[in-house]
A and B are shown apart, each in its own frame.
Chain A
Amino acid sequence: MNKIFAKQSIVVPIVSIFLGLMFGAIVMLAGGYNPITAYNALVSEIFSSRYNIGETIANITPLILTGLAVAFAFRTGLFNIGVEGQLIVGMTAATIVGIEFGYLPWFVHMPLSVIAAALAGGLWGGLAGYLKASRGVNEVITTIMLNFIALYLGNYLIKAFYLEPGTARSYKIEDSASLRTDWMTNLFDGARVDLGLIIALIAVIAFYIILWKTKQGFELRAVGLNHHAAKNAGINVNSNVVKAMFISGMLAGLAGATRSLGLFDAQTIAAAYTGLGFDGIAVALLGGNGAIGIVLAATLFGSLKFGGGGMNYVEGVPNEIINVVIASVIFFVAANGIFKLIIKPFKAKRKQKGAAS
């Protein structure tokens, strides 16, 4: 377990979160809002009822999957900024399959829709991986570009073939494709918790097992840590790059499935990205690219996102400031190198004093 929970990887995020919240408090004070009541509202929004807990979980679920997607590529030394696009492609595939094959029984239709999302996302990611492996094109550039293509391609397909007249969204998916189940909905007082949560938790376990228990994972990690040594040891670096991007894209595609098959029952014509793919980068970073770390990080982000709403109703903190608070947490985590830089001279001074005395 110490692979996931290195001592340093737990201290740094906690300090980062704390500093982020402190900075958020300063921003709120500057804006004339009381940070104590605001943070209070945030906490109670998350935990006050079964419904709220359920909605928080619904916010966490896709972040677990996008966080895993980013981390999986990262473990192979790849920076997949295209999780957003892979998610949209997966979501679109799930929507289409979810609308089309209504004659199938649910136990075929729902898994089929989910698998379609995973495959579509995987192919979208694998494309960037293939370009990197065969032509050496940097995956950062290709995935950013593929994000744009995914967004507008998804919108186009929905608009052209599946738009429900008079709305800005597709037809509802068939019930047989839905991830919702009565027992989960009832358990959380009608909140939008669904089988997406189970998918995410299975993905967490699969992520861990693939990377740390299989031959394939050994290769992926070797390539990620030192591709020269991996190549020298006879590992096919290029095929591992494609595989890593494919699996990463699959995880992103599953995140997409939880949107259209679960949360919304349909796909909206989107003016902008969902942001979940980019949040996934922060989640992976905060979670130290480890399975459990990602669950914790996604929990933090999802909770802040949902609970932030409470700060708005109770203390009247505007959404902009709530986003500043969330962003400052991310900033402090991403910039943890900065505190090391700040802390280091202090440490050195202390050492010198010790040596001189």
Chain B
Amino acid sequence: MALSGYYPNLDDNKDLWAVQRTKIDKATKNDVVFIGASRVLFDIQLNEWEKETGKKPIQLASVGSTPLPIFNDIVENTEFAGTVVVGVTPPLFFSTTFLMAVPWKREQFRVDHYFKRTYAQRLNHALSIPLQQNLVLMSTSEEEWTSNIDLKTLLKNIKIGNRQPKGMPPFYQFDDITLERNTEMTQRTVNDTAFANTIKKVWRFYGSTSPPPEKDATMSFFLKDAKAFTERGGNLILLRCPSSGGARMGENMGFPRVDFWNDLVKQANVKAYHFEDYEQFKNLECPELSHLSVKDARYFTTELAKIMIADGAITNQKIN
């Protein structure tokens, strides 16, 4: 499909993530950390959260990954005892504990990079920021979007014949990210149905190729860390962000709420928020079935923070 309207933007890469991870080492009891997959990344807007709670959260969610490795890192490698909000996207959260599986490897790669990154890599990242922010041609990305305009991607997009098995459909970038990793869905995804459909095709591809869930293994891994975290005074919260249409139907069929979400909440015995339980969120529609538009994400964040404060799950730092 035709692509137009290129503009400079940041790459949500391991270095950008590692800078946020650094903040946990100095974080206090009052800090809030978001972990999870892309839904938490898109749906939680950091400025709106700060407006409601008085404290800007640390965003460590990563696209297409399970939060288990980063939660395990927080529990085992830090003394953080503030609030951790875990985004539960069922197909990813309950996917695997196998170290080489993609949802695990993607997250573990970032955790490992945080510990192993060299001073040269830190400097490279710092020097690359002004270039990324100002030059459209700085277009490589860790996600290897089809819409990148670096030479490797341009060549990769050339297809002749049908020699190899049909793989993943083209996956165009549909978000923008800031230095603090605040992520917004692009307006094009909201306004251009044909473009949004290209993203939906990718979700369908993942839905049809994902292996069956490993509920017992993932739950047991998570619950062990959850116990350790809450025992040292940490505040753990589970969050199920909205999905719509075919994605939601698929999740309801493959990961029935009663068997997965309800069981997780019961066993973890912590505060939990499912979008279906709140009147405010029932009508939210995801333009590409899985993430909220920036307008809805701002609304979702604001309302969610209010609900959590009212529920006593988090405290309002503006008052304290």
Say if A and B assemble together: no
